[in-house]
Structure 1
Amino acid sequence: MRRLTMVVAVLALAGCGSAVESAAKVVLQQLDNPKTARFANVRTTQKGDICGQVRTKDAAGKYTAYQNYAAIKTADGFTAILDKDGNNPDVRAVCGEGQEITQAVDDTDQTSATGWEVQIVDGANMGALSDMTTRLIEHGFASNVATRDGVQQVYLGPFDTREAAEQKRSELLASEGIKSVVVKHKVQ
């Protein structure tokens, strides 16, 4: 219900001919089933680009996983980039969510003595920490809050391998539309 309210609010704010509506049209052109598209977490960057998430129904009539997208403002309108697996560096560069975290992780190191964890990206969809942890727990994601570098952050894990953490991150994005990144687990 919360997502539906958010989508309705975004559409109400969009109005005819707005940047959000123009960006949505470009994103819809890249989807297999655009008539069933549902947008979430739509926002405008300082440069005027549009970032958000979208999902559609598949051939069986079930909703697919959320996909992040970036609609980059050009002289002729917008150019859309869909991020099908949540790892597109171009979308992260435009939307900026988790950028500083992902740059700090060495992608070639697939194992760690302390493991891996999924860190919820602090952004527009975060809200209060207690609300986020409650939402995660209600939907089957065991979460915890840790203070790192003086900031409270929400985590899932730790996981033994990076692959296990990436799988959980993908499940989280697909079912809840919550953006997150995989980082090395820090023992406190």
Structure 2
Amino acid sequence: MRKVIVMTAILALTACGQESNDKIQPAKVASESTTVQVPVAHWALEITQGQRATITDTTGRLIEHGFNNFISERDGVKHFLIGPYATEAQALEAQEQIKLKPKLEGIETNVVELPAAK
């Protein structure tokens, strides 16, 4: 009986050592890579002109409902944008979500492509 217990313990310890070495090798390989590709956001929703609410009121309502917004200046003109989004499909989905929320009624948007970063 003792021999069986000792053999089982030896096998268990051997197997444990094997697994830990297998886990260490992939970790070393993963730490060697230095290139990381981050998705770039190229799309946003532009709030159209003619809004009756102030920017602070609109910003507060958007933040309340989980929509990030920012002001971008292009060619000397300030644009009030929601986003940014990685794909046009994500921007269109956010535009639909805004239309469905009663407290965001009156906020009209257009999907716009953001200029590439220089």
- Aligned counterpart, 1:183: 112
Flag the structure with higher helix content: 2
Query: Runs of 5+ in structure 2 lacking a partner?
Result: 1-39
Query: Runs of 5+ in structure 1 lacking a partner?
Result: 1-112
**Is residue 172 from structure 1 mapped to residue 101 from structure 2 by the alignment?**
no
**Is residue 135 from structure 1 mapped to residue 61 from structure 2 by the alignment?**
yes
Residues 41 and 87, structure 2, Cα contact 8 Å, conserved in 1: no
Counterpart residue type for residue 108 of structure 2: K
SS at match of 2:42: strand
**Is residue 115 from structure 1 mapped to residue 35 from structure 2 by the alignment?**
no
How many residue pairs align between the two structures? 75
Deviation at 1:118, TM superposition (A): 0.8
Q: CA–CA distance in 2 between the matches of 1:151 and 1:134? A: 22
Counterpart residue type for residue 185 of structure 1: L
Q: Which has the higher contact order (CA 8 A, sep 6+)?
A: 2
Q: CA–CA distance in 2 between the matches of 1:124 and 1:135? A: 13
Structure with the greater alpha carbon radius of gyration: 2
Q: CA–CA distance in 1 between the matches of 2:41 and 2:90? A: 14
* Shift in alpha-carbon separation, 1:163–1:116, aligned structure 2, 3 A: same
SS at match of 1:152: strand
Q: CA–CA distance in 2 between the matches of 1:114 and 1:137? A: 19
Deviation at 1:139, TM superposition (A): 2.1
Q: CA–CA distance in 2 between the matches of 1:149 and 1:131? A: 26
Structure 1 stretches of 4+ with a deviation exceeding 4 A read: none
TM-score, normalised with respect to structure 1: 0.36
Q: CA–CA distance in 2 between the matches of 1:135 and 1:161? A: 24
Q: How far does the alpha carbon of each residue in 1:32-60 deviate from its partner, in whole angstroms, 9 at most, with x for none?
A: xxxxxxxxxxxxxxxxxxxxxxxxxxxxx
* Shift in alpha-carbon separation, 1:162–1:148, aligned structure 2, 3 A: same
Q: CA–CA distance in 1 between the matches of 2:54 and 2:73? A: 15
Residues 67 and 83, structure 2, Cα contact 8 Å, conserved in 1: no
SS at match of 1:171: helix
Q: CA–CA distance in 1 between the matches of 2:65 and 2:41? A: 26
SS at match of 2:67: coil
Q: CA–CA distance in 1 between the matches of 2:46 and 2:71? A: 10
Deviation at 1:180, TM superposition (A): 0.1
